Structure 1
């Protein structure tokens, strides 16, 4: 039997997660088509490499990611892995289909209806359970509630707290690329964990520190995602066509990424290797979840994770 990777405890919960997680957005045909065989092979390889945290969302391919992930994980005992998905995105019939979804290569017979009310959360969770083919989800995040007003995260957290207290879910959280509300949510014990995208990375070491400090102070946890900053840190040297926050890279950030790469290389460390390892140096961070489309991508990410980074590197990259 494959041994899981090292685990960390999700503070204040009975859940432990492997330090490396599988992000399943690409299983929903993000930007380009992924075959059923490729999707299944990616999940199977992740299992073989010891990954036991798998994350998805209804948004990813209008439910395709959840269905594919659920089918692949059905081969394994339910207690042997941690499953997370997101709520707030209902999938409803699309009255005006165009033939293809905007971001995912899937038919748009369904459309997203964003709803962070109690009824919306409950319906969203029921839909996800059906697509995943499971009777429980370990971690449930409100999906980008900050994009729908200041109250959306709080309204969702209230319902998720109710579900956690009833034992329906294991932990409640918020998935976001905006850290501004997290310190307050942690302090109020509104959530157990935040999935933070692109804001605590080797390139952005300061922007989320208030949220991370609040997590430690209030015994909460953070899952770091988008640690490559949309691809800028994904290669040994920033690629000419690299993106940052899904758009063009500002010149000053490209220069900083190159400087980071040079500092890392002085220690025999690559830029993506350091990008994966950096968030895990903070005591609030329990996991880095990476998007993985194919078995080859799983192997590359797992290999990078397993190459330990000398502690001296962090002192060398903090003054850039």
Structure 2
């Protein structure tokens, strides 16, 4: 059990085939490694692998006592069996033949939660999050959120919130809805601190717990000398240049850039935990190792001036 693991949530996209297929054994080994290292919080969604993430997580947690772990899942995409679904749809490989359909209606939320609970083998979850409602904000706020409130009142979920990539979307939910949690991906990192100006202070004032995902900005902060992906697409040369400058600054202190990247969000008092998207045992153990590496204050001072946003 690592002390740092209490502030880590294991994300469910990696072991569900994001970017590359992950076989059942590799996924199970990754989940077991997370558990053995003390991780007890898991974030998933129907979107991840077309239900594969929830199914694999449910099988893994089936032998654990319910009080030992927490699970968050999401609403907003319904799954439909689809023999014509191509492999690699939505960047997930080796997934079941299912297609996704956006649905932020109250009925859609109820169906989504019922199906998620079946895949997870649970009768309740700890958090339910509205997933990526960017182009469906009015319906998400007028229909999905009230339904999540009803589910929270019934005990189907302990907390409710939103999981997004964009600060303005998260802020609207924070200001207009009685939510408990915000999961913000890619917007509070060494390179991109757009969540810092308004979102994090607003959440702190309202007592909303913040989870930060995408701490490596989908790859460029993992190894900028070889990896050129930012926000799931090829990174702009200016972004790669900034990431490489951070890599050089870290190397002068004998600190891997990955260590600074995974630790950075946890320095803010509004951030409750980071969500690691690691999909294999090796990735999980490396990420946890990075959390244990001391980062000198002098290095933080240098890195604090290197954000692009």
Work out whether the TM-score is over 0.5: yes
SS of the residue 1:50 aligns to: coil
Query: Judging changes above 3 Å, is the alpha-carbon distance between structure 1 residues 78 and 5 closer, same or farther for their aligned structure 2 residues?
Result: farther
Deviates further, 175-184 or 278-287: 175-184
Provide the C-alpha distance between the structure 1 equivalents of 2:250 and 2:108, rounded to a whole number of angstroms: 46
Which structure has the highest helix share of the two?
Answer: 2
SS of the residue 2:42 aligns to: strand
Shift of 1:165: 2.1
Structure 2 counterpart of 1:77, from 65, 71, 77: 65
In the alignment, structure 1 residue 202 sits paired with structure 2 residue 159: no
Query: Judging changes above 3 Å, is the alpha-carbon distance between structure 1 residues 155 and 313 closer, same or farther for their aligned structure 2 residues?
Result: farther
Give a deviation string over 1:104-150, Cα, whole Å, max 9, x none: 22366321121111111111000000001111110111110113344
The aligned counterpart of 2:54 is: 66
Unaligned runs of at least 5 residues, structure 1: 8-17
Give a deviation string over 1:63-122, Cα, whole Å, max 9, x none: 11111111011121111111111111111233x715535122236632112111111111
Deviates further, 124-133 or 189-198: 189-198
Q: How does 1:62-141 map to 2 (within 5 A)?
A: 62-94=50-82, 97-102=84-89, 103-106=91-94, 109-141=97-129
Structure 2 counterpart of 1:243, from 208, 214, 229: 229
SS of the residue 2:200 aligns to: helix
TM-score of the aligned structures, taking structure 1 as reference length: 0.89
Whether the 8 Å CA contact 2:219–2:227 is kept in 1: the answer is no
The aligned counterpart of 2:305 is: 319
SS of the residue 1:173 aligns to: strand
TM-score of the aligned structures, taking structure 2 as reference length: 0.92
SS of the residue 1:200 aligns to: coil
The aligned counterpart of 1:293 is: 279
The aligned counterpart of 2:288 is: 302
Unaligned runs of at least 5 residues, structure 2: none
In the alignment, structure 1 residue 24 sits paired with structure 2 residue 12: yes
| CA RMSD, Structure 1 to Structure 2 (Å) | 1.9
Give a deviation string over 1:260-292, Cα, whole Å, max 9, x none: 222223333211101100101111111111112
Provide the C-alpha distance between the structure 2 equivalents of 1:125 and 1:134, rounded to a whole number of angstroms: 11
In the alignment, structure 1 residue 55 sits paired with structure 2 residue 6: no
SS of the residue 1:278 aligns to: helix
Query: Judging changes above 3 Å, is the alpha-carbon distance between structure 1 residues 308 and 150 closer, same or farther for their aligned structure 2 residues?
Result: farther
Shift of 1:199: 0.6
Whether the 8 Å CA contact 2:170–2:184 is kept in 1: the answer is no
The aligned counterpart of 1:10 is: none
Query: Judging changes above 3 Å, is the alpha-carbon distance between structure 1 residues 57 and 107 closer, same or farther for their aligned structure 2 residues?
Result: closer
Deviates further, 269-278 or 246-255: 246-255
